[in-house]
């Protein structure tokens, strides 16, 4: 075993939104030899049809993409700004947020996940700095004295000082390296689809809290909306199995016909929802980012935004401590920075989910008056919204203006 002949300083496994952002940020900020391994071939943007998976991108994430010169490319594909949010619950109580009252041009953007991944990969291909290893996955991990050697399912192997797990919530890197997780299933699935409502959404995001979980309509281009409907697993499966006309009627009822009838729907899919946090984010020669480190309920659309902050925080820490990318002391700085920030958001989202995810009448009334009070207290609303937009907290350089 020799630890001296390393092929790479950093090997990122998982070329999704978070892994590809990390690769690009590292290539801009360091001289490291970087590899990005992705089991699927890079996504191609179809000319028609929306990706079922979309993300509400915060201002902080937009800044990251701007700094990495990929925002313009996303804008030229499909990106939908939203300037208002309307949130209400069954049984009364509502709150509204407006970009204008915060002095902001918008509250954020709804972007298809495929658009984000495509723009990042195009930038990586164009730049030619990162070694792109698409269509392969690690199958064996061997410790070296100064790093880790991995063997892939294609029969090749790579020796790296730092291995980064960016391979999502079911991270096989995390399991293979023996890092445990804590959390629980919400017993819910997030059903996603794309619909065209009778009325134009006017760049407003709608979310209604129902006892089974929240249903959201997120504005897309051409008057379409993305649906993210969290509900008990059996109910989600029943909605998936329903014919389109009945599904659209159920959806219209769930959002109290706010945008009128729905004319057409795209395909439907559902993803199990869970709260999950890795026991630790780093070891010598290993780091976890994005959903491999944490996954949360999609009710406030924060998941990938936290992951993007992980990516640029790790890149910043590594750039500020050049030398051995796998050094535990340096990686610990990243963990100390991001674990606390992520935990704060995860606890807040879990609290919201518990508070709104039940039908006890006392709680419903309390929630109703709570929403009405917050709606009238402008400074409190502004603080909440600025947090949600990623404008507060200990932000990495690339997430700042």
Ligand X SMILES: Cc1cc2nc3c(=O)[nH]c(=O)nc-3n(C[C@H](O)[C@H](O)[C@H](O)COP(=O)(O)OP(=O)(O)OC[C@H]3O[C@@H](n4cnc5c(N)ncnc54)[C@H](O)[C@@H]3O)c2cc1C
Please report, as ranges, the residues that interact with ligand X according to CB under 6 A: 13-19, 37-40, 55-56, 137, 166-168, 172, 190, 192, 228, 271, 290-291, 298, 301-305, 307
Query: Toward ligand X, which CB reaches closer, 16 or 93?
Result: 16
Instruction: Decide whether 271 or 352 has the Cβ nearer to ligand X.
Output: 271
- Answer yes or no: are the C-beta atoms of 239 and 98 closer than 8 Å: no
CB of 19 to ligand X, least distance (A): 6
Nearest approach in angstroms of CB 190 to ligand X is: 3
CA distance 344 to 340: 6
Which tokens sit at 104? 């902001």
Rounded to the nearest whole angstrom, what is the least distance from the CB of residue 189 to ligand X in the complex? 8
Cβ 88 to ligand X shortest distance, Å: 19
3-state secondary structure 46-57: CCCCCCCCEEEE
The 10 Å Cβ neighbour count of residue 368 is 17
CB 28 within 8 A of CB 5: no
Report residue 221 as tokens. 């281009």
Nearest to 297 by CA among 228, 241, 248, 366: 228
Q: Which is nearer to ligand X, 154 or 354 (CB)?
A: 154
- Residues 94 and 375 sit within 8 Å (Cβ to Cβ): yes
Residue 255, CB half-sphere, CA atoms under 13 Å: how many? Answer: 28
Q: How far is the CB of 303 from ligand X (least distance, A)?
A: 3
CB of 394 to ligand X, least distance (A): 19
Distance CA 271, CA 83 (A): 27
d(Cα 163, Cα 87) in Å, to the nearest integer?
A: 41
Structure-token match 């500020």, residue found? 320
Residue number, 210 or 364, with CB nearest to ligand X: 210
Looking at the Cβ atoms of 40 and 400, the one nearer to ligand X is 40
Q: Nearer to ligand X by C-beta: 210 or 304?
A: 304
Phi/psi of residue 215, each to 5°?
-120, 130
The 8-class DSSP code of residue 68 comes to T
Q: Which two tokens stand for residue 173?
A: 């890197």
The SS3 assignment for 274 reads: strand
Cβ distance to ligand X smaller for residue 35 or 190: 190
The answer to whether 262 touches 251, Cβ cutoff 8 Å, is yes
User: CB of residue 301 vs ligand X: minimum separation in angstroms?
Assistant: 3
Q: Residue 369 CB, nearest distance to ligand X (Å)? A: 28
Closer residue to ligand X (CB): 219 or 298: 298
């Amino acid at each position: 075993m020799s630890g001296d002949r390393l092929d790479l300083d950093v090997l990122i496994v998982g070329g999704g939104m978070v892994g590809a952002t990390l690769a690009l940020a590292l290539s801009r900020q360091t001289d490291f030899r970087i590899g990005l391994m992705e089991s699927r071939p890079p996504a191609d943007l179809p000319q028609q049809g929306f990706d079922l998976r979309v993300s509400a991108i915060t201002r902080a994430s937009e800044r990251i993409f701007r700094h990495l010169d990929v925002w313009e490319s996303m804008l030229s594909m499909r990106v939908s700004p939203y300037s208002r949010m309307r949130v209400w619950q069954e049984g009364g109580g509502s709150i509204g947020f407006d970009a204008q009252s915060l002095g902001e041009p918008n509250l954020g953007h709804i972007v298809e996940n495929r658009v984000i991944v495509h723009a990042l990969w195009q930038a990586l291909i164009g730049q030619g700095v990162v070694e792109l290893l698409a269509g392969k996955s690690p199958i064996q991990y061997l410790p070296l004295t100064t790093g880790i050697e991995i063997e892939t399912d294609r029969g090749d192997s790579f020796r790296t000082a730092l291995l980064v797990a960016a391979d999502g919530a079911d991270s096989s890197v995390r399991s293979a390296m023996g890092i445990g997780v804590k959390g629980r299933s919400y017993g819910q699935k997030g059903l996603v689809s794309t619909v065209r409502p009778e009325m134009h959404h006017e760049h407003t995001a709608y979310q209604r809290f129902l006892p089974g979980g929240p249903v959201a309509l997120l504005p897309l281009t051409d008057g379409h909306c993305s649906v993210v409907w969290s509900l008990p697993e059996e109910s989600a499966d029943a909605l998936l199995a329903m014919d389109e006309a009945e599904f659209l009627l159920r959806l219209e009822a769930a959002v109290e016909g706010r945008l009128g009838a729905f004319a057409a729907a795209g395909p439907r899919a559902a993803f199990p929802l869970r709260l999950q946090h890795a026991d630790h984010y780093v070891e010598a020669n290993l780091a976890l980012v994005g959903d491999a480190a944490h996954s949360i309920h999609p009710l406030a659309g924060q998941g990938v935004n936290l992951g993007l902050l992980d990516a640029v925080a790790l890149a910043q820490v590594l750039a500020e401590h050049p030398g051995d990318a796998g050094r535990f002391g340096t990686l610990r700085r990243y963990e100390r920075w991001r674990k606390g920030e992520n935990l704060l958001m995860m606890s807040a989202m879990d609290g919201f989910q518990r508070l709104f995810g039940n039908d006890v009448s006392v709680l419903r009334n309390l929630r109703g008056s709570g929403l009405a009070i917050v709606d009238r207290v402008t400074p409190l609303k502004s603080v909440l919204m600025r947090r949600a937009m990623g404008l507060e907290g200990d932000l990495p350089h690339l997430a700042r203006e």
